[in-house]
Amino acid sequence: MTPPPPLGDPSLQDAEALAHALGVDTTLGLTAQEAARRLTQDGPNELQAAPPRPTWRRVLAQFQDPLVLLLLVAVAIALVAWLIEGRNGWPVDALVISLVLMLNALLGYVQEARAENAVAALARMTAVTSTVLRDGKEQRVPSAQLVRGDVLVLNEGDAVGADARLLRATSLRVQEASLTGESEAVTKDAATLSTPAPLAERAAMVFKGTAVAQGTARAVVTATGMGTEMGAIAELLEATVETPTPLQQEVARIGRMLGVAVMLIATIVVTTVLLLSDIRTASDVITVLLLGVSLAVAAVPEGLPAILSVVLALGVQRMAARHAIVKKLSSVETLGAASVICSDKTGTLTRSEMTIGRVMTASGASDVTGVGYAPQGRVEHQGSELGEGALRSEHIVVLSGGSLASNADLRQQPNGEWEIHGDPTEAAFLVAERKLGVHERRERRFERVGEIPFTSDRKMMSSIERDHEQGDAMVVITKGAPDVLMQHCTR
């Protein structure tokens, strides 16, 4: 059986004891079979969203606008009048208004369905993955498949897929703005807390929905899905009530005013005619009442909902042409009322990709062609590919050195696309080194045996490598702030 969830705050418990309680060996991780069994038992590591509305409810929602309800009343009145008149001919007024309402509902339904499908497709494209230790090997799995007891392997740039207790951490800083609102990255370590602490001060924990800004770590998953801190926030959000947009509020106000005005005017007209006319029979009374009904129906602007829907639909199409998805037609007008839009720059205005474009050494400079993480391009000097010589040797030292003093990883996916794991700046060195064509020799020649991580005090990161081409001699490759490195240079 799956071990029960740990009692109390995991940050107050010893990490190894907690892992033992969760039934996992921290050096091997869970087995694939055990992970699959826990996933079946606990369910996917996903936040529960409100169940999708069935089609009939989405169609019905198109008729809940006050102005549309007023038109439905007009249709009913027109049909009653047609029946009273003896069903002479076709009920043209009722049919025309009904047709307009159906077209309006169809337009709104189709647009919302398209938007929901687009959002669902976007969610599938941006599915988050996590690196875990299973069967003693590091594996990349969808974060939705994380289970309690999984050992997370965290590197710079990784998204934290579940709430987890740190087993060990090296210079770890985590961006928790999405959870706590704190704009600065928070320093984390694996030390057990002695007293309970607020969420923002639980240094021994990492939480779902946050991201690693610096450093590396391993952590054991303690909660998934709605059991995470992010899940608790999701539960609170489910209780929020959606407020009408400014346009919906205005249309509702117009609908109420029209309804009152139409009924008042029709009542005044019918009353006046009944008092001033020579009413002798019941047929005369019915004729006067039909006059009031006709006046009420004629006063209702049956074309207004359709006009609003068409105008908003045009706005949606213009937004779609600019790759913006609008889920509800009325949201277009709300966006138009916005004066300030606050957005995260990375991934919105930029792609969070770093590319080395120029390399300068003592013997000269060269240009690196190509952009992005695909190693497509070359290193050029004065318009031609960089050849053998001192300049190339110096470039090899710079680019291979930058690749050695790095924890980033560059991989080609089965679909041919290139993906990085780690810091974008470090990945830029890996890409440029591949363009120079020396990455394979560097991988054969050097073997990492140690690392001195970057800290805010030291401002340097050092990688200790064994050089197989120099009799297994030890070499230290260091990168860091220029002013700090210059102090350690002897020539």
CATH classification of the domain holding 467: 3.40.1110.10
Q: Which residue has the tokens 């916005």?
A: 338
Q: Which two tokens stand for residue 356?
A: 């080395």
Q: Domain total for the chain? A: 2
* Residue 476: φ, ψ to 5°: -110, 120
Residue 263 has pLDDT above 90, yes or no: no
Looking at 238, 253, 269, the residue that finishes a domain is: 238
Distance CA 384, CA 287 (A): 94
Alpha helices by DSSP H, listed for 126-173, are: none
Instruction: Summarize pLDDT for 70-110 with one digit per residue, the tens.
Output: 778 778 877 877 777 677 778 777 788 788 888 878 877 88
Span 137-150, average pLDDT: 90
CA distance between the termini of the chain: 64
Q: Kindly report the CA angle at 80 between 78 and 83, in degrees rounded to 5?
A: 110
Q: Which two tokens stand for residue 10?
A: 């995991």
In a domain, 293, yes or no: no
Alpha carbon separation from 214 to 92, 265, 482 (Å, rounded): 70, 71, 19
Question: Within this chain, do residues 368 and 223 fall inside the same structural domain, yes or no?
Answer: no
Residue 240 has what pLDDT? 60
Q: Which residue has the tokens 């346009």?
A: 247
In a domain, 405, yes or no: yes
67 vs 266, higher pLDDT? 266
Q: Which two tokens stand for residue 322?
A: 């600019």
Residue 29 lies in domain: 10-45+146-238
Q: Which two tokens stand for residue 230?
A: 């992010």
* Residue 118: φ, ψ to 5°: -65, -40
- So which residues are the catalytic ones? 344
DSSP structural state of residue 225 = G
Distance CA 162, CA 158 (A): 12
Greatest extent of the chain over all pairs of C-alpha atoms, in Å: 122
In a domain, 318, yes or no: no
Q: Kindly report the CA angle at 50 between 49 and 56, in degrees rounded to 5?
A: 140
Residue 1 has what pLDDT? 45
E strands, 136-270, in order: 137-142, 151-154, 163-175, 186-187, 205-206, 211-223
Looking at 203, 238, 273, the residue that finishes a domain is: 238
In a domain, 289, yes or no: no
Yes or no: say if 145 and 45 are a contact pair by the CB < 8 Å rule. Answer: yes
Confidence of residue 302 (pLDDT cuts 50, 70, 90): low
Residue 15 has pLDDT above 80, yes or no: yes
In a domain, 258, yes or no: no
In a domain, 270, yes or no: no
Give me the residues paired with residue 446 across strands.
467
